[in-house]
Amino acid sequence: MESSKEEPKELETYEPGSDADFERLYRNTYRRILGTLITMVRDRAAAEDCTQETFARAYQNWKSWKPDAPAEAWLHRIAINVAISDRRHQQLRQAGEVIRRLGKPAPPPDPANVVERSDLVQALRKLPAKQAAALVLRHYHGYSNREIAAALGVPDQTVASRLAAARKQLQVVLGRKE
């Protein structure tokens, strides 16, 4: 619970185009954006790369950001797009890796890595990116469906249907009964 409550996002205000305010936004939201991306891309290193890419893209558009929506929601929208792009590239890379690994056993995952040992995180990475993002925003960051809808730029009903689909898929993958 600590991560989602350490920065009260409603109280933070930022001035578009201000370098100092962007740096403050970076410090306040880095860990939350990284937490979301860890559940969406293949591993921790890729999540860190995507987080940096997210803030780089955000900085390019920082002057045109409109403070009518929370800055963190805006960042999450960028982060989800970055993760979707990374997934596409990963699918292309996997084809080459499969050919290179033919006949060789796959390297075992690092047992010290809690994330890599989590069945839930592994199942989330197999979900469609937008479903996984909705689930993490709802159950890790504590967003309401309306806030998720604003962050992703979709209607509330779309968020509700994505959450329902994600839960159903997770129950199947994790072997839970409703």
Q: Which of 81, 84, 86, 72 is nearest to 141 (CA)?
A: 72
| Member of 121, 154, 160, 165 binding other proteins (CB under 8 A) | 121
Q: Which are the contacts of 7, defined by CB distance < 8 A and separation ≥ 6?
A: 28, 29, 32
C-alpha span between 90 and 130 (Å, rounded): 17
Q: Which is nearer to other proteins, 30 or 156 (CB)?
A: 30
Write each residue from 3 to 22 as x if it is in contact with other proteins (CB under 8 A), else as -, in one continuous string: xx--------------x--x
The CB-of-44 to other proteins minimum distance in angstroms stands at 7
Stretch that binds other proteins, among 76-84, 94-102, 144-152, 164-172 (CB under 8 A): 164-172
Under the binding rule (CB under 8 A), the answer on residue 176 touching other proteins is yes
Stretch that binds other proteins, among 9-17, 26-34, 94-102, 126-134 (CB under 8 A): 26-34
Under the binding rule (CB under 8 A), the answer on residue 159 touching other proteins is no
The CB-of-142 to other proteins minimum distance in angstroms stands at 9
For other proteins, the binding residues in 54-113 under the rule CB under 8 A are 55-56, 59-60, 113
| Member of 9, 81, 167, 173 binding other proteins (CB under 8 A) | 167
| Contact residues for other proteins, defined by CB under 8 A | 1-4, 19, 22-23, 26-27, 30-31, 34-35, 38-39, 44, 55-56, 59-60, 113-115, 118, 120-121, 135-136, 139-140, 167, 170-171, 176, 178
